[in-house]
Amino acid sequence: MNVPFLDLKAQYQKIKKEVDQAVAEVISEQYFILGPKVEALEEVIASYSSARHGIGVASGSDALMLSLMAVGIRVGDEVITSPFTFFATAGSITKVGATPVFVDIDPKTYNVDPSQISERITPKTKAIIPVHLFGQCADMEPIKELARRYDLWLVEDAAQAIGSDYIKDSHTTQRAGSIGDLGCFSFYPSKNLGGFGDGGMVTANDDELADRVRLLRVHGASRKYYYQIVGVNSRLDALQAAVLLVKFHYLEEWTEKRRENADYYNHLFEGIDHQALDIETPYVQYRNRHIYNQYVIKVSKRDELRKFLSREGIVTDIYYPLPLHLQECYRDLGYGEGDFPHAEGAARETLALPIYPELTKEQQEYVVSKIGEFFHSFVP
Ligand SMILES: *Cc1c(COP(=O)(O)O)cnc(C)c1O
């Protein structure tokens, strides 16, 4: 049996008529940059994320960079983030001239460990970027408390977490993108809401911050050819917005399917006694709404397992094989192996299994039975 990691062609077949029509409309209008389609998307994403404003930008990476520019992060500043994330989280900090300061992750959620943040705060620290990795919100309450106490900006990297909820207690639910000062989303094709190319969005509750991001994405021009500040060119285009508006109608359904698939994997893993086999399934903190952009297990012999599954027709992926503090480009930050044992452990032992909405029960049963087979073949 073949199990791809993601099946965007299957998704497209289901919505082909609607998407093709939306794209054809943009082409016949010949209105490509920003405009009414982008504004419509900004409205639905902001509202879906419980934020007042949405600002469409060229990518999730730019959403992060523009957010840092908007709150005035610059040369000499320090920004705290996780070493176990996609490169853009830290790259955006470096791009504005500031220094990323890494804090190890919680080995259960893979999100930044709030209890280790305060020891990294210095007079130069200006912001924290918690990452809602794999689709589960970082532990935002203690992080918000630190941001308040030390007067730091809070920028959420919600690129993998559209529609994810942080549940603080039985009566407080907060949605990814509305918890910090600014929220950053990505419409990269593999995200839960993916376009036909690059795209991103910044969400904000504060009017002034939103205006600033809106200014920065058009070179800092408040009206054409008059520049208030120096910004960049980072606009969402109408073709992407048209595709995303169609797909948005299916987002909840697709995310629910991912959540069901995750539950089914958990159930199947119980059947093969995953604890005895040393397989850790995803841990959901309290009652968070995890949206499973990735379903990530932790296993020793990860690389051998991955090879075995690949031979059996099952495609998996590794997010991420080398933590950011050990990347060549960050050598001069002075970190070394052993500095963040949990991030390093996760990079060594985690494996992402196919979790996309169109995945069938039979495919999931096949995946888990093959994993069981792999481990039993190791038992002496
Ligand atoms: C995808 C992603 C980004 C960047 O998004 P792009 O749209 O690819 O630039 C940033 N952070 C995380 C955690 C991501 O997964």
pLDDT tens-digit profile of 337-356?
999 999 999 999 999 999 99
User: What distance in Å separates the CA atoms of residue 128 and residue 130, rounded to the nearest whole number?
Assistant: 6
- The distance from CA 199 to its chain's CA centroid, rounded to whole angstroms, is 13
Residue 169, pLDDT score: 81
Q: How confident is the model at residue 231 (pLDDT cuts 50, 70, 90)?
A: very high
**Per-residue H/E/C for the chain:** CCECCCCHHHHHHHHHHHHHHHHHHHHHHCCCECCHHHHHHHHHHHHHCCCCEEEEECCHHHHHHHHHHHCCCCCCCEEEECCCCCHHHHHHHHHCCCEEEECCECCCCCCECHHHCHHHCCCCEEEEECECHHHCCCCHHHHHHHHHHHCCEEEEECCCCCCCEEEEECCEEEECCCCCCEEEEECCCCCCCCCCCCCEEEEECCHHHHHHHHHHCECCEEECCEECCCCCECCCEHHHHHHHHHHHHHHHHHHHHHHHHHHHHHHHHHHCCCCCCCEECCCCCCCCECCCCCEEEEECCHHHHHHHHHHCCECCECCCCCCHHHCHHHHHHCCCCCCCHHHHHHHHHEEEECCCCCCCHHHHHHHHHHHHHHHHCCCC
Residue 263, pLDDT score: 98
Q: Where are the domains of the chain?
A: 8-248, 251-376
Q: Give the residue, by CA position, lying nearest to ligand 1 atom 5.
A: 60
Residue 44, pLDDT score: 98
Q: How confident is the model at residue 377 (pLDDT cuts 50, 70, 90)?
A: confident
Q: How confident is the model at residue 378 (pLDDT cuts 50, 70, 90)?
A: low
- Which whole number is the average pLDDT over 205-224? 96
CATH topology of domain 251-376: Aspartate Aminotransferase, domain 1 (3.90.1150)
- Which whole number is the average pLDDT over 16-32? 97
Q: Does residue 281 surpass a pLDDT of 80?
A: yes
CATH topology of domain 8-248: Aspartate Aminotransferase; domain 2 (3.40.640)
For strands 200-204 and 182-186, give the pairing. antiparallel
Is 88 close to ligand 1, i.e. is its CB under 6 Å away? yes
Does residue 113 contact residue 106 with C-beta atoms inside 8 Å? Answer: yes
- Which whole number is the average pLDDT over 39-58? 98
Q: How confident is the model at residue 325 (pLDDT cuts 50, 70, 90)?
A: very high
Ligand 1 centre distance from Cα of residue 198 (Å): 10
Residue 171, pLDDT score: 82
Residue 76, pLDDT score: 97
Q: Minimal CA–CA distance to 133: which of 281, 284, 272?
A: 284
Q: How confident is the model at residue 379 (pLDDT cuts 50, 70, 90)?
A: low
- Which whole number is the average pLDDT over 242-271? 97
- Which whole number is the average pLDDT over 87-94? 98
Phi, psi of 87 (to 5 degrees): -55, -35
Ligand 1 centre distance from Cα of residue 259 (Å): 21
Residue-averaged pLDDT of the chain: 96
Is 60 close to ligand 1, i.e. is its CB under 6 Å away? yes
Q: How confident is the model at residue 60 (pLDDT cuts 50, 70, 90)?
A: very high
Q: Does residue 271 surpass a pLDDT of 70?
A: yes
- With the most atoms of ligand 1 within 8 angstroms of its CB, the residue from 64, 112, 188 to mutate is 188
Q: Give the residue, by CA position, lying nearest to ligand 1 atom 7.
A: 60
* CA dist list (Å): 137 to 37, 142, 143, 157, 315: 29, 13, 11, 9, 26
Q: Does residue 31 surpass a pLDDT of 80?
A: yes
Q: What is the pLDDT of residues 138-190, one digit of tens each?
A: 999 999 999 999 999 999 999 999 999 999 887 889 999 999 999 999 999 99
Give per-residue burial for 324-361: e unless 16+ CB within 10 Å, then b: bbbbeebeeeebeeeebebbbbbbebbbbbbbbbbbee
- With the most atoms of ligand 1 within 8 angstroms of its CB, the residue from 86, 129, 164, 198 to mutate is 86
